Structure 1
Amino acid sequence: MKKFILRTLLFLSPFLIIEISQGFLPIYAFTHKFYESPLYKSTVVPHNYPIYANQKGKMTGVGDLCFNTKYEIPKDESYITDELGFRNDRFIKNPDIIIIGDSYTMGATLSQSQLLANQIMKNSDYKYSVYGMAPTDFSTLDKMLKLNIIQKPKYIIYERVERGVIPKIERFDNSFLTQLKYEYNNLWALGDTNVFLDKIFRGYINNFAKAKITKSRGTGTQSKVDEKLFFYDTKHLEPSDEWMHINIKSLESYKKYCDSIGSKFLYLPMPNKETVYFDKIPVNTQPDYLFKVGKILNQNNISYYPTIEFYNNFRKKDNRMLYQYDDSHWNALACELISKEIIKTLKNDNR
């Protein structure tokens, strides 16, 4: 029996060494863009937030839609994550603005200085302190407020891509046991132990090897008008009315939540790339989901920024791209423009 165990261990040792070595490698060693690099994947490693904390570095990334093809476009992606793991230059306990969002707010394909939170601070001459929380939702904010990790801000901006589901708030049970669990999870962050373990267990090296063997490449849809331009999904441009009303119900609950804590709510819908550049797929008409949502939100006095209308007007006078050619996310230009629009919106709100 001992010989069998020894032989088994000797046989498995090369594989174990390879797996364990992942813990010592940079977080982006087997990924093609930053967004995937710091996200916890293992369900067994204790952590309180979705992203590795206290990370800093640089990498060269490419978009999701046509990687490993001649159309991929290398991008410099510097990054910093704060003590909670969110992508900010530093943690801000008492910000003027909190932005809750998805991969757009987190800055997929963007460098640190190009993030929406950083752009709002810079373009307002640092009138506002802004804290970005992504990818996450209102349930995380509720937990952070109840645990006194962060103070309620004056403004809460909720960003979500058009195709994204807007989840209901799950209220945090601020009991002794949940507080104890939170502190227990924090212990695993000492010395980045949870980061080290997650890098081992997430299996990126296996996926990387498989991708190399199968010659994996981006599966985006190439534009029939511009060969350099790729789209994520050109088949599902019009969601159902039922799905739309579920999302609106969630937005209504967010507005009520913000009212209850004394913060002002602003919804920032991020159009799908396919919606903005529908004519370059091409399809005959622009999807009208966001226009329908905007009309209903206006009727219910829920503040939102009409991003799609701004993009449409921009395209009439300027041919610069607002999205990455090889990815579904916005580029630095779009992020900067929207940051300035948000500042204008907040100024108008203060009049």
Structure 2
Amino acid sequence: MQNTGVKKLLLKLTLLLLPFAVWPLIEAAVLPINFFTFRVWETLAVNEMQIMSGPFYPNMYIKMEEEGELAPHTSFAKKKVVEWYTDAYGYRNRDSKCDVLLIGDSNITGVKLTQEETLAEVLERQLNKEVYSFAPATVNRFLATSRFQQNPPEVVIVSSIERRIPALPAVGSNGFQSKVRDFTGNLIGSSPVLTHLAVTADRISKLALYRRTLASIDRALGKKEYIAYDNQFFIQGDTANRTYSQEEVNQIADVLEGYRNVLQAKGMRFLFLPIPNKENIYYQMLPSRRKPDFLPRLIAELRQRNIDVVDTQSTFEHMYHAENTFLFPNDDGHWNDIAVKQAANLVAQQLNNSPKYNTEQKEEKYLVGYTGKDKTENNLTTYQPAE
């Protein structure tokens, strides 16, 4: 009799939990991949399967209307239709050709930018070279990636948003982990079946409806805090413009010098591209109105060490303060297409110091309006929901 009662209890618990167990499978197998997401980043980003080659699902194409990361699903959100392509390795590129490699964070990936607005594609049109976006990633991930050891790029551009520069890892950090991921990523990428299983398992792990519901509850209860001034949203606010000691600046310069040295020893040119924080350029909007001096001091230190660095700080300051040109979306902390174009101009000018580079425009297919069909791999998985 007691066993019968236990069985009934277990049956009831199973029926109660069954919808919660089945629903993630429905999300992954039935619903559109972006059904519960507000950006392509969350849609395609690898969640738990950190054994795949790249940070995104490979061989994907998606077009959707998305919002900035700082105020999604609110009246402050600015909507924009964007297109994304990812290559066979799970990076945001139309193909895997590489003369110039861009290592960086989400700004290099191109958050809230459509494919042709990303720095890699804008710079490619400037240089008449194949530019590859290896982001988000690190120098150590690059050094441990076998395909780049076999076919190294001519130039490696390392970029970072200002707030993340102090955390750039020194050469050799996490080297073993990067080598393991290169091995497992190549193994998974060698089999369409393994790739499909890995992507499906990762989509299940995201629990998209659950996370979307929690975020909605937090907003409804007022738990989601926004840092906003003059209808501009910021990631850190005043804390972003803190003062750095000279010792800290020197330590950061040591890390970047290490990058230069190891890449130079391998016959590759190194260039550092810092990206100012939104708080840096828009500092007058913040309560303290304190103008930061971190990037100018770091750039000066790097130049003293004969390290190639692009001075985006001075140019962005002039564009915003003298020309009233906005360089960041209202609802996001990443740069916009105007800032990207100017950064590409600066990089191209710096690289043109080498006779191997020129700024001849590529043929017409690379101009605005080019669909990219001839550069898109045939095995893309396409997600293009109705607009």
Q: Within the alignment, does 1:83 sit opposite 2:88 as a pair?
A: yes
Bigger Cα Rg? 2
Is 1:220 matched up with 2:226? yes
TM-score, normalised to structure 1, is 0.89
Partner residue of 2:336 out of 314, 331, 350: 331
CA–CA separation in structure 2 for the residues paired with 1:234 and 1:347: 37
Q: Which residue is equivalent to 1:50?
A: 55
2:32 corresponds, among 21, 26, 30, to 26
Q: Of the candidates 65, 79, 85, which is equivalent to residue 60 of structure 1?
A: 65
- Mapped to 1, the partners of 2:160 and 2:116 lie a distance apart of 21
Give the equivalent residue in structure 1 for 2:79: 74
**TM-superposed deviation, 1:292:** 1.0
Residue 159 of structure 1 and its aligned partner are, at CA, apart by 0.6
1:219-274 deviations in Å (ceiling 9; x for gaps): 33221xx2x21222123211533544443222111101111110110000000000
Which position in structure 2 is the counterpart of 1:267? 272
Residue 104 of structure 1 corresponds to 107
CA distance in 1: counterparts of 2:107 and 2:182, whole angstroms = 31
1: distance between equivalents of 2:209 and 2:344?
37
Structure 2: stretches of 5+ with no match in the other structure: 1-5, 357-387
Cα shift at 1:194: 1.0
Count of aligned positions: 342
Aligned twin of 2:325: 320
| 2:309 counterpart letter in structure 1 | Y
Structure 1 segments unaligned to the other structure (5+ residues):
none
Q: Match of 2:169?
A: 167
Greater displacement, 81-90 / 278-287: 278-287
The residue matched to 1:349 in structure 2 has which SS?
A: coil
Aligned to 1:36: 42
CA distance in 1, matches of 2:214, 2:151: 45
Structure 2: distance between partners of 1:209 and 1:5: 28
**Structure 1 residue 178: deviation in Å?**
7.8
CA 275–198 in structure 1, closer or farther in 2 if over 3 Å, else same: same
Partner of 1:138: 139
1:275–1:196 distance in 2 versus 1, CA, 3 Å: same
CA distance 1:68–1:147, change in 2 (3 Å): closer
CA–CA distance in 2 between the matches of 1:178 and 1:63? Answer: 30
Q: Is the 8 A contact 2:59 2:88 kept in 1?
A: yes
1:46 touches 1:188 (CA, 8 Å); kept in 2? Answer: no
The verdict on how the C-alpha distance between 1:150 and 1:239 changes in structure 2, with shifts beyond 3 A counting, is farther
Structure-1 separation of matches of 2:180 and 2:198: 21
Q: 1:66, 1:219 within 8 Å by CA — same for their partners in 2?
A: no
Alignment RMSD (CA, Å)? 2.6
2: CA distance between counterparts of 1:201 and 1:209?
16
Change (3 A) 1:273 1:148: closer
Moved more, 235-244 or 63-72: 235-244
**2-structure distance, mates of 1:243, 1:188:** 46
- Indicate the SS of the match to 2:144: helix
One-letter amino acid of the counterpart of residue 277, structure 1 = Y
- 324 and 259 in structure 1: CA distance in 2 versus 1, 3 angstrom threshold: same
Give the superposition deviation at 1:182.
4.5
Query: Is the partner of 2:163 in helix, strand or coil?
Result: coil
Once the two structures are superposed, residues 90-138 of structure 1 have per-residue CA deviations (whole angstroms, 9 ceiling, x without a partner) of 111xx220000000000011111111000011234xx111001100001
**Deviation for aligned residue 1:177:** 8.1
Task: Assess if the C-alpha contact under 8 Å between 1:34 and 1:61 holds in 2.
Answer: yes
